[in-house]
Amino acid sequence: DTGVSQNPRHKITKRGQNVTFRCDPISEHNRLYWYRQTLGQGPEFLTYFQNEAQLEKSRLLSDRFSAERPKGSFSTLEIQRTEQGDSAMYLCASTSIRGQGGNTEAFFGQGTRLTVV
């Protein structure tokens, strides 16, 4: 399977615990994005990487959230001291650069559904 892979698919955690999600993008894609999606809303941008560099982080993202892409391949998203409001689907997507500018289409993983109880 050469698509985007996310692990785990589901995570239930107690409030206050830390959680970490992993995303393995399509190998030849150099851009990787994290989104959060709640019911009835579109994917909300969290952050993105070009290779190993984190180029932008949403202003909506609290400092409890951190993401890394240490070798420009897989990425991790960590949420510290989880709160009930963090419950959502966390989606990862990857793209590559289009020759005439912009991105190729984004391919998504199946997401990690987080439930904070």
Cα–Cα distance, 3 to 65 (Å, whole number): 25
* Binding-site member from 21, 48, 65, 90 for other proteins (CB under 8 A): 48
Smallest separation (angstroms) from other proteins to the CB of 114 = 14
Smallest separation (angstroms) from other proteins to the CB of 16 = 27
* Binding-site member from 21, 43, 88, 114 for other proteins (CB under 8 A): 43
Q: Does 31 bind other proteins (CB under 8 A)?
A: yes
Structure tokens at 47: 């952050």
Q: Does 26 bind other proteins (CB under 8 A)?
A: no
Distance of CA 77 to the CA centre of its chain: 6
Q: Which of 103, 105, 107, 88 is nearest to 21 (CA)?
A: 88
Nearer to other proteins among residue 19 and residue 31 (C-beta): 31
Q: Which residues contact 13 (CB under 8 A, 6 or more apart)?
A: 19, 82, 114, 115, 116, 117
Residues 54-113 that bind other proteins (CB under 8 A): 55-56, 91, 93, 95, 97-98, 101-111
